[in-house]
Chains A and B, each alone.
Chain A
Amino acid sequence: MMLNRILFLSLTVLVTFPGMAQTKYTVHRKNRIYLGITGGMNFSAAKVVKDYSLLVTTPQSSQENANSEKDYQGLFKNKGSQFGLYFSYSFKKNLAIVFQPAYQNSSYNYRTAYSWSDTVNGADFALEMMHQQKVSAVNLPLLVRWDFTVSQFSPYIQGGIYTNFRHQAKKTIFYDYTIDEEVDKKTADRTGETDFTEHLLKANFGLTAGVGFTYFANYFAISLESNFRYGFRSMVNDQNRYADFTGLSMQYLDVPDQLKFMNLDIQLSVMFPIDNSISLGILRKSRH
Chain B
Amino acid sequence: MKLIIYSMIFLGLGIGFSSCKKKVKEEEIPFIKIYDDQNGNKHFHPLGMTTAAANDGYIVMSAYDGWRIHLMKVDAKGEFVWNYELPENYVNAVPNLIKSNGANYLVCMDAVGLFTYVLKIDENNQSTTEVAAFTDILYPTYAYNSGQNIYIQNYNRLSMQTGIHKLTLDLSSIVQSADLDIFTDVEDRIVDHITFNGKRMPFFVSSTPENNYIVMNGFYNYSFSLIFLDQNLNFAGVYNGAGFNGGLAAISPSGGNQFSLARFSYDNIYYNANAALNPTTIDITESISAQGHSELDAQRPVLIKELSIGGTSYKAFLSSTRSNQLLLSLYDKSSGALAGKKYLGKNIPVTACDFIQTEAGELNILIQAKIMGSFDRIALMKLSGDQLEEIPD
Smallest CB separation, B84 vs chain A (Å): 10
Q: Tell me which of A102-110, A181-189, A218-226, A248-256 binds B.
A: A248-256
Q: Which residues of A contact B348 (CB under 8 A)?
A: 250-251
Determine which of B31, B38, B369 lies in contact with A116 in the assembled complex, contact meaning CB atoms within 8 Å: B38
Beta-carbon contact of A89 and B4 below 8 Å: yes
Q: B51-91 interface mask toward A, CB cutoff 8 Å, 1 = contact, 0 = none? A: 00000000000000000000010100011100100000000
Smallest CB separation, A50 vs chain B (Å): 9
Question: B35 at the A/B interface (Cβ < 8 Å)?
Answer: yes
Beta-carbon contact of B80 and A58 below 8 Å: yes
Determine which of A60, A99, A140, A238 lies in contact with B29 in the assembled complex, contact meaning CB atoms within 8 Å: A238
Beta-carbon contact of B4 and A60 below 8 Å: no
Q: B349-372 interface mask toward A, CB cutoff 8 Å, 1 = contact, 0 = none? A: 010000000000000000001011
Give chain B's interface residue range (CB within 8 Å of chain A): 35 or more
Beta-carbon contact of A61 and B36 below 8 Å: yes
Question: B26 at the A/B interface (Cβ < 8 Å)?
Answer: yes
Beta-carbon contact of A57 and B4 below 8 Å: no
Beta-carbon contact of A244 and B346 below 8 Å: yes
- Alpha-carbon distance between A202 and B33 when the two chains are bound, in angstroms: 26
Q: Which residues of B contact A19 (CB under 8 A)?
A: none
Question: A1 at the A/B interface (Cβ < 8 Å)?
Answer: no
Question: A14 at the A/B interface (Cβ < 8 Å)?
Answer: no
Smallest CB separation, A200 vs chain B (Å): 12
Q: Which residues of A contact B29 (CB under 8 A)?
A: 238-239, 241-242
Question: A124 at the A/B interface (Cβ < 8 Å)?
Answer: yes
- Alpha-carbon distance between A60 and B41 when the two chains are bound, in angstroms: 13
Beta-carbon contact of A65 and B36 below 8 Å: yes
- Alpha-carbon distance between A161 and B78 when the two chains are bound, in angstroms: 39
- Alpha-carbon distance between A255 and B35 when the two chains are bound, in angstroms: 15
Question: A87 at the A/B interface (Cβ < 8 Å)?
Answer: yes
Beta-carbon contact of B347 and A251 below 8 Å: yes
Determine which of B1, B3, B14 lies in contact with A163 in the assembled complex, contact meaning CB atoms within 8 Å: B14
Beta-carbon contact of B36 and A97 below 8 Å: no
Beta-carbon contact of B4 and A99 below 8 Å: yes
Chain A, Cβ-Cβ closest to B346: A247
Beta-carbon contact of B14 and A165 below 8 Å: yes
Q: Tell me which residues from 20 to 42 in chain A have a Cβ below 8 Å from any Cβ of chain B.
A: 33
Beta-carbon contact of A60 and B36 below 8 Å: yes
Beta-carbon contact of B372 and A125 below 8 Å: yes
Beta-carbon contact of A54 and B38 below 8 Å: no
Q: Tell me which residues from 211 to 240 in chain B have a Cβ below 8 Å from any Cβ of chain A.
A: none
Known: A58-B83, A203-B14, A250-B369. Is A142-B7 also a contact (CB below 8 A)? yes
Question: A122 at the A/B interface (Cβ < 8 Å)?
Answer: no
Beta-carbon contact of B39 and A60 below 8 Å: yes
Known: A99-B3, A142-B7, A238-B29. Is A125-B18 also a contact (CB below 8 A)? no
Beta-carbon contact of A248 and B17 below 8 Å: no
Count A-B contacts at CB 8 Å.
131
Beta-carbon contact of B346 and A241 below 8 Å: no
Determine which of A56, A65, A119, A164 lies in contact with B79 in the assembled complex, contact meaning CB atoms within 8 Å: A56
Beta-carbon contact of B3 and A89 below 8 Å: yes
Smallest CB separation, B107 vs chain A (Å): 25
Beta-carbon contact of B1 and A89 below 8 Å: yes
Smallest CB separation, A225 vs chain B (Å): 18
Question: B24 at the A/B interface (Cβ < 8 Å)?
Answer: yes
Q: Which residues of B contact A47 (CB under 8 A)?
A: none
Question: A180 at the A/B interface (Cβ < 8 Å)?
Answer: no
Q: Tell me which residues from 123 to 162 in chain A have a Cβ below 8 Å from any Cβ of chain B.
A: 123-125, 127, 140, 142, 161-162
Question: A4 at the A/B interface (Cβ < 8 Å)?
Answer: no
Question: A196 at the A/B interface (Cβ < 8 Å)?
Answer: no
- Alpha-carbon distance between A115 and B3 when the two chains are bound, in angstroms: 57
Beta-carbon contact of A61 and B347 below 8 Å: no
- Alpha-carbon distance between A204 and B35 when the two chains are bound, in angstroms: 34
Q: Tell me which residues from 176 to 222 in chain A have a Cβ below 8 Å from any Cβ of chain B.
A: 201-205
Question: B37 at the A/B interface (Cβ < 8 Å)?
Answer: yes
Question: A77 at the A/B interface (Cβ < 8 Å)?
Answer: no
Q: Which residues of A contact B10 (CB under 8 A)?
A: 140, 163
Q: Which residues of A contact B384 (CB under 8 A)?
A: 239
Q: Tell me which residues from 19 to 33 in chain B have a Cβ below 8 Å from any Cβ of chain A.
A: 19, 21, 24, 26, 29-33
Beta-carbon contact of A61 and B38 below 8 Å: yes
Q: Which residues of B contact A255 (CB under 8 A)?
A: 32
- Alpha-carbon distance between A60 and B85 when the two chains are bound, in angstroms: 11
Known: A140-B10, A248-B347. Is A119-B32 also a contact (CB below 8 A)? no
- Alpha-carbon distance between A204 and B11 when the two chains are bound, in angstroms: 11
- Alpha-carbon distance between A57 and B205 when the two chains are bound, in angstroms: 35
Beta-carbon contact of B38 and A117 below 8 Å: yes
Q: Which residues of A contact B34 (CB under 8 A)?
A: 54-56, 250, 253
Beta-carbon contact of B32 and A140 below 8 Å: no
Question: B147 at the A/B interface (Cβ < 8 Å)?
Answer: no
Beta-carbon contact of B14 and A118 below 8 Å: no
Q: Which residues of A contact B374 (CB under 8 A)?
A: 116, 125
Known: A87-B3, A163-B18, A238-B24. Is A61-B37 also a contact (CB below 8 A)? yes
**13 A/B residue pairs, CB under 8 Å, sorted by A:** A33-B3, A56-B80, A89-B3, A124-B40, A140-B10, A140-B11, A165-B14, A202-B17, A205-B14, A233-B18, A238-B24, A239-B384, A244-B347
Interface residues, chain A, with chain B CB atoms under 8 Å away: 33, 54-62, 65, 87, 89, 97, 99, 114-119, 123-125, 127, 140, 142, 161-165, 201-205, 233, 238-239, 241-244, 247-251, 253, 255
Given contacts A61-B37, A142-B8, A242-B29, list 10 more A-B pairs with CB under 8 A.
A54-B32, A56-B35, A58-B37, A58-B80, A99-B7, A117-B39, A140-B11, A163-B15, A201-B18, A202-B18
Q: Which 7 A-B pairs have the closest CB atoms?
A: A163-B14, A203-B18, A62-B38, A116-B40, A60-B37, A251-B347, A205-B15
